[in-house]
């Protein structure tokens, strides 16, 4: 991991500018994903080992520091922020950060504040999220079978997640369900999951499993290409490619029979890097310019080096110059080690 080395400025805080950050391949970086904690109240089998070692709490940035970092990115052209984890809603006092960033949306400085959650805490927080300016969330859900749900999450409570989804819809939040496609687990359930989502006005996005972090299972056994998922669904449904986009990597189709949308995220079969507008910030202040690469920038040092944001701004600029063209994910029998050692819960989904 590289750290930016440069003079510590004493000038005034960053002044917002309209021009976005441009990476070496001409892509504007306008989307920041922030992992507010690496902790989670689930232990999903494709994401984590059951006995995880989490970061000491002393290593985490404070919520005030995360707010300052996000504000620095907003001043440099970021228009969308997604809070992730682990499970973001298990972070103590997380609504402080949500409310602070929601104020940036209300002021017109940020187009959208969103959240990815496992749904376990939604019954508690849905109304407050809406009150803070959040209008759209992603809920990770890989099965509608309570027993299979318990098996894949290890610690999850299916009824609690359903209660959370109901509370979020009642509060006025738009929901997109995210399901990781897993061979011999949910491949024959995806049609029913799509119907479940569309009957409730929710979108569904299916995602290929990614080789990140050591887990207790062989990902080769789990991997299900979405080309096969789409072909299987087209036996029952009429899928028409859609220009709809949310700023993320999903490509969407319209489903004639349900009237809803279905998204595909394909890091393995079709790398979506050519249009990547994203960088990822961890709860320790590490910036990953690519989810599937190890190169990173230490923004915590720059953040704490000066009360002025000049040093931090320069560190961000330097990091963007190292954003790579794309990732190199591979899953097969000859590549048994994960493409990157860190778990998804460290970087955020």
Judge residue 26's burial from the number of C-beta atoms within 10 Å of its C-beta, 0-12 exposed, 13-18 middle, 19 or more buried. exposed
Show me where the domains of the chain are located.
21-177+273-347
Q: Tokens 């973001």 identify what position?
A: 88
What's the pTM?
0.84
Inter-residue contact 145 to 107 (CB < 8 Å): no
Judge residue 232's burial from the number of C-beta atoms within 10 Å of its C-beta, 0-12 exposed, 13-18 middle, 19 or more buried. middle
Give per-residue pLDDT as tens, 250-288.
Answer: 899 999 999 999 999 986 544 557 778 899 999 999 999
The yes or no reply on domain 21-177+273-347 and CATH 3.20.20.70 is yes
Annotated binding site: 33, 40, 44, 46-47, 82, 86, 116, 140, 176, 210, 273, 276, 278-280, 290
Q: Tell me: cis bond preceding 86? Omega within 30 of 0 counts.
A: yes
pLDDT of residue 347: 53
- Band of pLDDT at residue 217, cut at 50, 70 and 90: low
pLDDT of residue 245: 87
Annotated binding site for GTP: 33, 82, 116, 176, 278-280
Range scoring the smallest mean pLDDT among 149-153, 247-251, 305-309: 247-251
Question: For strand 174-181 and strand 136-140, is the pairing parallel, antiparallel, or unpaired?
Answer: parallel
Inter-residue contact 37 to 91 (CB < 8 Å): yes
Annotated binding site for S-adenosyl-L-methionine: 46, 86, 140, 210
| Range 204-225 average pLDDT | 70
Give per-residue pLDDT as tens, 4-39.
Answer: 444 433 333 444 455 679 999 999 999 999 999 998
Give per-residue pLDDT as tens, 166-201.
Answer: 999 999 999 999 999 999 899 999 999 999 999 999
pLDDT of residue 348: 54
Annotated binding site for [4Fe-4S] cluster: 40, 44, 47, 273, 276, 290
Inter-residue contact 81 to 110 (CB < 8 Å): yes
What φ, ψ does residue 176 adopt, rounded to 5°?
-115, 125
Strand partners, 241: 253
């Amino acid at each position: 991991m590289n750290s930016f080395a440069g003079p510590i400025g004493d000038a005034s805080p960053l002044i917002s500018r309209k021009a976005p950050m441009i990476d070496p391949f001409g892509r504007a970086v306008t989307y920041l994903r922030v992992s507010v904690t690496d902790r989670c109240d689930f232990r999903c089998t494709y994401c984590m080992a059951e006995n995880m070692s989490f970061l000491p709490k002393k290593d985490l940035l404070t919520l005030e520091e995360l707010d300052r970092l996000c504000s620095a990115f907003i001043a440099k052209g970021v228009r969308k922020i997604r809070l992730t984890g682990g499970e973001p809603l298990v972070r103590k006092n997380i609504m402080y950060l949500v409310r602070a960033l929601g104020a940036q949306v209300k002021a017109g400085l940020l187009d959208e504040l969103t959240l990815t959650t496992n749904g376990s805490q939604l019954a508690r927080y849905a109304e407050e999220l809406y009150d803070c300016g959040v209008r759209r969330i992603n809920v990770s859900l890989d099965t509608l079978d309570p027993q299979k749900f318990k098996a894949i999450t290890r610690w999850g409570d299916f009824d609690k997640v359903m209660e959370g989804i109901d509370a979020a819809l009642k509060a006025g939040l738009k929901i997109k369900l995210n399901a990781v496609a897993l061979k011999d687990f949910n491949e024959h359930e995806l049609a029913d999951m799509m119907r479940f989502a569309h009957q409730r006005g929710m979108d569904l996005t299916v995602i290929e499993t990614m080789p990140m972090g050591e887990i207790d299972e062989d990902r080769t056994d789990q991997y299900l290409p979405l080309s096969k998922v789409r072909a299987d669904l087209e036996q029952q449904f009429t899928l028409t490619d859609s220009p709809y986009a949310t700023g993320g990597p999903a490509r969407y189709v319209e489903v004639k029979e349900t009237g809803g949308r279905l998204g595909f995220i394909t890091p393995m079969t079709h790398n979506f890097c050519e249009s990547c507008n994203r960088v990822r910030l961890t709860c320790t202040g590490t910036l990953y310019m690519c989810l599937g690469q190890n190169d990173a920038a230490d923004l915590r040092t720059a953040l704490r080096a000066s009360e002025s944001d000049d040093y931090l701004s320069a560190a961000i600029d330097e990091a963007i110059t190292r954003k790579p063209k794309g990732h190199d994910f591979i899953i097969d029998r000859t590549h048994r080690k994960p493409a990157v050692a860190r778990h998804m819960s460290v970087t955020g989904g």
